[in-house]
Amino acid sequence: MASLELKQLTKKFGDFTAVDSMDLQVADGEMIALLGGSGCGKTTTLRMIAGFTEPFSGSILVDGKDVAGIPAYKRNIGIFFQNYALFPHMTVFENIAFGLKIQKLPKAEIAERVSEMLELVKLYGMEKRYPRELSGGQQQRVALARALVTRPSILLLDEPLSNLDAKLRVEMQVEIKRIQKELNITTIIVTHDHEEAVSLADRVIVMNAGRILQVGTPKEVFDDPNSAFVADFMGFSTFIKGSVKLELPDRLIVECSGHDLSVKRSVRDDLREGDNCILAIRSENIAIVPEDNMENRFVSGSNEIYAQENIVKGRVESITYKGHSTRVEVSGCFEENVYPAPNDYTGPGAGGELRLYFPSDKLCIYKN
C-alpha cells in the first residue's frame, strides 16, 4: 500500500516524446485510470512505473521516495498484463506461487497464501490446471491473483477488460473493484476504452500525445469533458460549429447555421460575444419531439421534458438499429449531421422530417 507521485516525468524515443512532463499524484488506496488512444503515452508511463524502461527526465516517487535506479525486480509492483502473460509451462498453483518461490518463503506459507488468493479470485480447486485449460475469464483471475500474491505496494492493470466478452466484462469489472477495495491497494489502470475507465476508476486521467488533458471523477470526465478532443474520446457523437451571439448571466445564446441554441454556462468557459465555438452533445441526450405535441411537453426515456427552446427541424438520413438503442442520422438541422440515439425509435423512416430537442444543460461548449 503506497502513494505514488510522478514529477515532470518525460520519456523520449529518439526525437519522439512519448510522455511529456507528466505530473500526477495518486493517493494511497486510490484507483485511477490513464485513458487515451494508442500512442498517447499511457503504456510508456506504466512501463516507467514498473521499471521496465528508464525515464528520460523527471522522477517517480513511491511513498515519497524516488525509485530511480531501483531495478524492476526489486520494485514490488504487481502488474496485470493485457494478454495475461501466464507462464504456459506452469500450473495455476505454480503461476501464483512464482513470486513467493522467488522470495524463498517456506512451502507451507506459500501454499497458504496461494490458497488465500485462489479464494479471493474464486478459483478454488483449479490449482492443478494449466493456463491453456482455462477460459479467458479464469486466466484473467489467475493473472490477477499472481499479481497480488506478493502483496505489491502498487497494482498496475493494463487493459484489464479488453479481451473479454460483454457479459464477462461486467462480472470482472465488479470483481476487480471488489478486490481492489478489499485489499485497499493503490491501483493504476491503463486503457483506451472510456467505459472501462469510468466504470473502474475513482479518478480518470485523459491523455493525448504524452500530455494530460483532463483529470476528474468518472462523472466529470464523462458528462463534462474540458475540450472537444476529450469529448470526442469520451464518446460524444454530435459536434456542431457556431458562434456566440449573446452572453447572459447563466447561459449563452449560440448561433449555429441560422438556429439559436441556448447553452448553460460552464465553470471554465471564457467565451465572449462573437467567438467561434463548438457544441458537443451525447447521442442519448438529444430528444425527439413528437409531431402531434404542440406544447412540446413529452416524455423521453425516463425524463419528462418541457421544451421551450433549442428545437430544430431536420430530415432523417438513415436509421441503424443497435439493440438497446437506435442510431438515427439527421441532416438539415445544422451544417453538420446530428446523431440522436433514442431507446425506442418510433419516428419517420429515412427521408421523413422530425424535430429534435437539444437540452441546454447537456450541451458542452468549447472555444474553436
Partner 1 sequence: MRDKRSNPFCMIVAVLIMLFLVAPLVVIVIASFTPTALITFPPKGFSLEWYGNIFSKSNNFVSGLLNSLKIGLGATVLDIFIGVTAALSICRYDFKGKNILLNYFTSPMYVPSVCFAFVLLQVYSQVGRVPGWARIFIGHFIIILPYIVRNTVSVLHVFNWTLEDAATSLGANPVQVFFKVTIPLAKPGILAGALLAFLYSFDEVALSSLLSTPRFVTLPIRIMNYMEMSFDPTLAAISTLLILCSLILMLLMEKFVGLDMFMR
Nearest to partner 1 of 41, 131 (CB atom)? 131
Closest CB to partner 1 among 85 and 111?
85
Q: Which is nearer to partner 1, 97 or 341 (CB)?
A: 97
We find the least distance from the C-beta atom of residue 330 to partner 1, in angstroms, to be 46
Please pick, from the candidates 88, 125, 249, 351, the single residue that binds partner 1 as defined by CB under 8 A: 88
The least CB distance from residue 95 to partner 1, in Å, is 9
Q: Is 72 in the site for partner 1 (CB under 8 A)?
A: yes
Least distance in Å: CB of 85 to partner 1? 4
Q: What are phi and psi of 57, to 5 degrees?
A: -155, 175
Window of 14-22, 72-80, 248-256, 310-318 that interacts with partner 1 by CB under 8 A: 72-80
Binding marks (x or -) toward partner 1, 132..161, rule CB under 8 A?
--------------xx--x-----------
Nearest distance, CB of residue 75 and partner 1, angstroms: 8
Burial of 191 (0-12, 13-18, 19+ CB in 10 A): buried
Nearer of residues 92 and 252 to partner 1, judged by Cβ = 92
Residue placing its CB nearer to partner 1 in the complex, 154 or 364: 154
Select from 8, 25, 57, 83 the one that contacts partner 1 (CB under 8 A): 83
Q: Whose Cβ is closer to partner 1: residue 156's or residue 256's?
A: 156
Site string for partner 1, 90-129 (x = CB under 8 A): --------xx--xx--------------------------
Q: Which of residues 201-260 bind partner 1 (CB under 8 A)?
A: none
Chain residues in the site for partner 1 (CB under 8 A): 50, 52, 71-79, 81, 83, 85-89, 98-99, 102-103, 146-147, 150
